[in-house]
Amino acid sequence: MRHRKGYKTLSIDSERRKHLLRNLAIALIENERIQTTDAKARELVRFISKLITMAKNDTLASRRKALAKLNNNKKAVRKLFDNIAPRFATRNGGYVRRIKLGFRKGDAAAVSIVEFVEKSAE
């Protein structure tokens, strides 16, 4: 039974899942829009929302926690804290949207786009 399990396993072991979510989060922060399968997108929305909430409180401790979560990618953490988190300063949640695209041609996997709700000024 799955009493109170808080995440999807994505049919991979925990280390690979952590690395997958880290890499997807880094790609989303750098590009601000990515396309992935629906199951991965659902887990990514949960992961990135917690990071943005942490980044809204811009302290040294929260930057170090974000660095640990994002595999010591300083460029992504800098962009998260300096560009992305200030956009959502007055927002209490719902930072990321997931748009279903349909099914991939090769293996018929459900595909989604994940993007930030508020666009950058660039």
Cα 25 from Cα 102, distance rounded (Å): 22
C-alpha span between 101 and 99 (Å, rounded) = 6
**14-116: in CATH 2.40.50.100:** no
pLDDT value of residue 45: 96
Sheet holding 33-37, edge to edge: 33-37, 110-116, 96-103
The answer to whether the CB of 99 falls within 8 A of the CB of 45 is: no
Measured in degrees and rounded to the nearest 5, phi and psi for residue 98 equal: -120, 120
CA 53 to mean position of chain CA atoms = 12
Q: What local confidence, expressed as pLDDT, does residue 118 receive?
A: 86
Could you read off the pLDDT tens digit of each residue along the chain, which spans 122 residues? Answer: 767 667 788 889 989 999 999 999 999 999 999 999 999 999 999 999 999 999 999 999 999 999 999 999 999 999 999 999 999 999 999 999 999 999 999 999 999 999 999 887 66
Distance between CA 16 and CA 21 in Å, rounded?
A: 9
> What pLDDT was estimated at residue 3?
76
pTM above 0.85, yes or no: yes
SS3 36: strand
How many CB atoms within 10 Å of residue 25? 24
pLDDT of residue 121: 66
